[in-house]
Amino acid sequence: MSFIAGAAMPVGAILSFLYLKRPSQAVAGMLVAAHALARQIVQIRSLEGWAKLDKMPVRGDCDSFLLFIVVALIVLVCLGWLGRVTIRAARSEVEDENIGANSLLAQEA
């Protein structure tokens, strides 16, 4: 697995050159993925000297996750309300413009 981390540098250089020549989201995504994979491999290799990662118990932290879910729901509700108010205001402006145009046409006739 170490050779993958070592290969990340030349792969990153090649992808950077490709991105320089023709920028695209696909090349940028591959560059980020190659960097992330190399970092994860190096991190696992360096931690293996201190602890056996595959033997460590995984404990879920429900309090932090619950807080995240509650805050995410509050944000989504606020964004929904903001979108609804914005659409309502835009519709009322269009209706006001239509009423004004109709009254001008009625005065001309």
Q: Check residue 51 and give its pLDDT.
A: 77
Q: What DSSP line would sit under the chain, residue for residue?
A: -HHHHHHHHHHHHHHHHHHHHS--HHHHHHHHHHHHHHHHHHHHHHHHTT--GGGSPP---HHHHHHHHHHHHHHHHHHHHHHHHHHHHHHHHHHHHHHHHHHHHHHH-
pLDDT in tens, 38-68: 888 888 778 777 777 777 777 777 788 899 9
pLDDT band at residue 70, thresholds of 50, 70 and 90? Answer: very high
Q: Check residue 102 and give its pLDDT.
A: 57
What is the pTM assigned to this prediction?
0.43
